[in-house]
A and B are shown apart, each in its own frame.
Chain A
Amino acid sequence: MNAALHLAATFVLCVAVAGPLARARWVWRAPRTGILLWQMLGLSWALSAVGLLLALGLAPHDAPIPVALGRWADDAVRGDVTPLALLVVLGLLSALDLVIGLLWTWGSVLRVRRRHRDVLALVARRDEAAPGAFVLDHPNVVAYCVPGARSAVVLSSGALTALTRDQVDAVLGHEHAHGRERHDLVLLPFSALCSVLPKVRLARSVARAVALLVEMRADESASLRHGAQPLASALRRFGSARPPEGALGAADVAVAARLVRLAGLPPLPAALRCSALVGGLVLVGIPLSFLVR
């Protein structure tokens, strides 16, 4: 029962921390720490959710989870099934659901990307105004990255005319950072979480918070090379392509937050960064210590 209590407490803690962390502004000052923290929190949440179901279902065996799981399987094969066994099945199924959700999202993302790359190879051109990028002839102002083993950065001709040389370099730096640091892999589990739990608002706000941190990390990387100023003005330029009236969407809020960061938020002190990471490690360690023994 000890294991179940610990796992339940970890699960509740993860859910309780997620809301405030999604709203927290201090992580903006250390985007990479923030991303790591979210990854550890997500892992701990999934492990403790699955672990809790297993621990409850295996309670009669009165043994560590891996040992008890073996005994439970032996019993199940012999046809000796208790009502509590349902919880074990539920735990294993939810683990399977998370893994399948991840693979499904990954697969459909890869399909969209492959098709996108094929079309890109046909219609995009190279331009010396945008070194290392594909240029699309379209008046809209667009810049994006098609991540992958060989990532492709794409810029519209509209963006080339709207931005100065410095701004183009900064935007390309931002997109190359996405590709180089494989930010798509960071976002993947959180998108998968949204598809597994479509009705849960917390899942969506967590995914949005992580997406914002990823953008901020790319901003950070680009502004180290090209300066914060061209990036901020390019961001403002992109923003002004939309009509000013109407409600602020999530994208506008994110842009406003990134502008605040670029305007000069001081980086988080190393001691605080370290203690945040240690906290995350402890959080992952608790469920892990019950599941692997």
Chain B
Amino acid sequence: MDVLWDRGEPVAVRDVVRALADRDLAYTTVMTVLNRLAKKGFVRREAGEGRAWYYAPVASREQYVARLMLDALSLTGDRETALAHFAQSMTAPEAEALSQALDER
């Protein structure tokens, strides 16, 4: 995922393998992981040149962090029940601004 975020453009599986060369991962392993991320809706898969698939992140890392923050700080409904927080540290207007920032993108 870090590789995809760093590139900022759709990346082919072999490029990801090359970027992670120091981890010595098999091509099929990387492809499986990317497909799983695609199935969960974190990356978009698009046809590139030839037969290769290209992968791109659906949202930026910052957007995902902001989404988690909103979950963590939300005072409404299921999110409140789903997580247990130490203390609420964001005011309602702040939370609203965060959710608006997410919607605008």
- Chain A interface (Cβ within 8 Å of chain B)? 105, 108-109, 111-113, 116, 118-120, 122-123, 136-138, 140-147, 154, 156, 171, 174-175, 178-179, 183-184, 187-188, 191, 214, 218, 234-235, 238-239, 241-243, 246, 249, 251, 255
Contacts and interface: CB of A to CB of B under 8 A. Distances in A.
Given A108-B78, A122-B42, A242-B90, A136 B84 contact: no
B91 A242 contact: yes
Nearest to B86: A143
A183 B83 CA distance: 10
Contact of A136 (B1, B65, B83, B88): B65
Chain B CB within 10 Å — which of A142, A174, A234, A243 has the most? A142
B7 interface: no
Nearest to B71: A116
Contacts of B100: none
Contacts of B82: 109, 112-113, 116, 146, 184
Interface string B45-78: 0000000000000000100111111011101001
Interface residues of B, number: 27
Given A119-B68, A123-B68, A239-B87, A105 B81 contact: yes
B105 interface: no
Q: Is the interface of A mostly helix, strand, loop or mixed?
A: helix
B72 A142 contact: yes
Contacts of A146: 82-83
B39 to A, nearest CB: 11
28 contacts: A109-B81, A109-B82, A116-B82, A116-B83, A119-B64, A122-B1, A123-B64, A138-B65, A138-B69, A140-B73, A142-B69, A142-B85, A142-B89, A143-B87, A144-B72, A145-B83, A146-B82, A147-B83, A187-B81, A191-B81, A234-B86, A238-B87, A238-B89, A242-B89, A242-B90, A243-B91, A251-B75, A251-B88
A108 B89 CA distance: 24
Chain A CB within 10 Å — which of B65, B66, B71, B89 has the most? B89
B23 interface: no
Nearest to B61: A123
A118 B40 contact: yes
A28 B49 CA distance: 66
A174 B64 CA distance: 26
Contact of A112 (B64, B79, B87): B79
